Amino acid sequence: MSVIKEASEGARAQYIRSGVRLNSRVRIVVEWTEKGATHTVEGYTMDVSPKGCLAIVPQGFGVGQKLRLKNPVNGAVAVANIIWRGHEGRSGWELGLQLESPGEDFWGVEFW
């Protein structure tokens, strides 16, 4: 088993245990800079939590990569780290995203 795979599985386990999650499909926009150019793709969440989300996006990213995550419903923007990358399906890659500075209002829902 590769070190990257072990690290990503450990990060996924930590993400799963990190607190309250809400099954919620929220449209998201993922933005990153590569070679001086800004790129964006749209995706959606499978679940959300105060600390991040499990998302499906059509772009494959590496574990540890930083992105800007946008919630177009309320206009919130946050920096997110990819802490887990799962399988690629028909709709895209499964990604575990952790918000660097989680704000209670990023998803526009209350967690309790």
Kindly give the confidence (pLDDT) of every residue in the chain, 112 residues in length, as a single tens digit, with 9 standing for 90 and above. 334 444 555 555 554 545 677 678 899 999 999 999 999 999 999 999 989 999 999 998 999 999 999 999 999 999 999 999 999 999 999 999 999 987 778 988 776 6
* Domain contains 110: no
Give the strand pairing for 93-99 and 76-88. Answer: antiparallel
pTM: 0.79
* Domain contains 58: yes
Number of structural domains in the chain: 1
Q: Which domain holds residue 43?
A: 3-99
Give the strand pairing for 27-34 and 52-57. Answer: unpaired
The Cα 4–Cα 58 span in angstroms is: 21
Phi and psi at residue 44, in whole multiples of 5°? -155, 160
- pLDDT > 70 in the chain, percent: 79
Q: 76-106, pLDDT tens digit by residue?
A: 999 999 999 999 999 999 999 999 987 778 9
* Domain contains 108: no
**68, 78 Cβ separation under 8 angstroms:** yes
The Cα 55–Cα 61 span in angstroms is: 12
* Domain contains 106: no
Q: What is the CATH number of the domain that holds 20?
A: 2.40.10.220
* Domain contains 107: no
**106, 78 Cβ separation under 8 angstroms:** yes
Long-range contacts of 32-41 (CB under 8 A, 24+ apart): 32/61, 32/65, 32/66, 32/67, 32/68
CB contact burial 24-47 (16+ within 10 A = b; e otherwise): eebebbbeeeeeeeeeeeebebee
* Domain contains 109: no
